[in-house]
């Protein structure tokens, strides 16, 4: 059992930094292009999202205009920053040093208020809209921003990511968030490991069915592309949305890619199980996925 609980998630950042876009892509099946139609968020928009049927994400997307910030840090301070499990702050990558310094100050005031009200909070900083930065400047810009953020956040520990709605990076961030929230993910990973070793599969990954975020995984043979789980999340999510629109069932997919076979089966607790194998005994693997499902049920 994974434990049923309410998880409080706060998403903040300055106006137009991409908060609602991120939330809509991960939790509402938006395509990146659809986010161009989004309007500025007025104060705070709260949404609830049941995750694995065992956690309830309580997501607060906080509008980023300056007047709202003053209100968050004064009138709303006592309630807003209490009992937060996850704090996600978005910085626009293309902002120059002056804008970034303003953003840092704002982030620092919020972080200090949150750490007081929620000492166990997990903090994620996104250097977002990275697609607007020239490819050869991205790595250095990210490292500089990350170093500065880590320094000013001390003693709080933070995790930084470079992201864009135009690639698979947001799936990586949110899968890390999920991983951080699951207290007994190791048990789940051990079962996946036993299965992968026994069946000599390259990789076994459990995805949440609606968001396609990675819940747990075991990699026996590392893929040449280390971003594969995130790319699979994005690809399958888009594919599933098309099947949904056409009312086609998606209980299982089987994809053959040169020497690899990839199985994606509807699994327990609102998940999909993905198995990557080079084995030709595909029927046996399919049968064993069903046995594994029975083991969990």
- The verdict on 234 binding ligand GTP (CB under 6 A) reads no
Rounded to a whole number of angstroms, the minimum distance from the CB of residue 109 to ligand GTP is: 17
- The verdict on 172 binding ligand GTP (CB under 6 A) reads no
* Nearer CB in complex with ligand GTP: 18/229: 18
Distance from C-alpha of 111 to C-alpha of 107, rounded to nearest angstrom: 6
Rounded to a whole number of angstroms, the minimum distance from the CB of residue 179 to ligand GTP is: 22
Contacting ligand GTP within 41-100 (CB under 6 A): 41, 63-64
Yes or no: say if 118 and 85 are a contact pair by the CB < 8 Å rule.
yes
Rounded to a whole number of angstroms, the minimum distance from the CB of residue 77 to ligand GTP is: 19
- The verdict on 129 binding ligand GTP (CB under 6 A) reads yes
Distance from C-alpha of 23 to C-alpha of 46, rounded to nearest angstrom: 11
User: Can you tell me which of 7, 29, 49, 131 binds ligand GTP, judged by CB under 6 A?
Assistant: 131
* Nearer CB in complex with ligand GTP: 52/213: 213
Task: For CA atoms 232, 237, 243, 248, give the dihedral sign.
Answer: positive
- Phi, psi (deg, nearest 5) at residue 81: -100, 10
Binding residues for ligand GTP, rule CB under 6 A, total: 22
Q: What is the b/e burial string over 144-166, where b = at least 16 CB atoms within 10 angstroms of the residue's CB?
A: ebbeebeeebeeeebbbbbbbbe
Give SS3 for 160. strand
- The verdict on 106 binding ligand GTP (CB under 6 A) reads no
Q: Checking DSSP bridges between strand 122-128 and strand 86-92, what pairing results, if any?
A: parallel
User: Can you tell me which of 2, 8, 9, 20 binds ligand GTP, judged by CB under 6 A?
Assistant: 20
* End-to-end Cα spacing for the chain: 11
| Binding track over 148-167 against ligand GTP, x by CB under 6 A | ----------------xxx-
Alpha-carbon dihedral 255, 260, 265, 269, rounded to 10 degrees:
-130
Interface positions with ligand GTP (CB under 6 A): 13, 15-21, 35-36, 38, 40-41, 63-64, 128-129, 131-132, 164-166
């Amino acid at each position: 059992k994974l434990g049923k609980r309410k998880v409080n998630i706060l998403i903040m950042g300055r106006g137009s930094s991409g908060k609602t876009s991120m939330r809509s892509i991960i939790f509402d099946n938006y395509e990146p292009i659809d986010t161009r139609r989004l309007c500025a968020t007025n104060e705070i928009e709260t949404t609830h999202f049941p995750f694995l049927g065992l956690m309830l994400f309580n997501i607060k997307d906080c509008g980023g205009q300056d007047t709202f910030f003053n209100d968050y840090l004064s009138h709303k301070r006592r309630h807003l920053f209490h009992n937060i499990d996850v704090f996600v702050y978005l910085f626009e990558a293309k902002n120059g040093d002056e804008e970034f310094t303003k953003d840092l100050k704002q982030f620092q005031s919020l972080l200090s208020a949150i750490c007081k009200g929620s000492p166990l909070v997990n903090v994620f900083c996104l250097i977002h809209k990275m697609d607007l930065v020239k490819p050869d400047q991205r790595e250095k810009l990210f490292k500089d921003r990350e170093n500065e953020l880590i320094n000013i956040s001390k003693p709080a520990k933070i995790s930084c990511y470079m992201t864009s709605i135009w690639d698979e990076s947001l799936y990586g961030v949110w899968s890390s968030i999920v991983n951080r929230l699951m207290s007994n993910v190791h048990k789940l990973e051990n079962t996946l490991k036993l299965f992968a070793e026994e069946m000599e599969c390259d990789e076994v990954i459990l995805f949440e069915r609606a968001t396609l975020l990675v819940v747990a995984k075991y990699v026996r043979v590392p893929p040449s592309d280390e971003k594969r789980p995130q790319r699979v999340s994005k690809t399958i999510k888009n594919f599933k949305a098309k099947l949904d629109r056409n009312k086609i069932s998606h209980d299982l997919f089987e994809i053959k890619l040169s020497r690899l076979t990839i199985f994606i089966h509807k699994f327990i607790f609102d998940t999909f199980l993905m198995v990557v194998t080079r084995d030709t005994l595909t029927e046996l693997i399919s049968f064993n996925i069903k046995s594994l499902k029975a083991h969990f049920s």
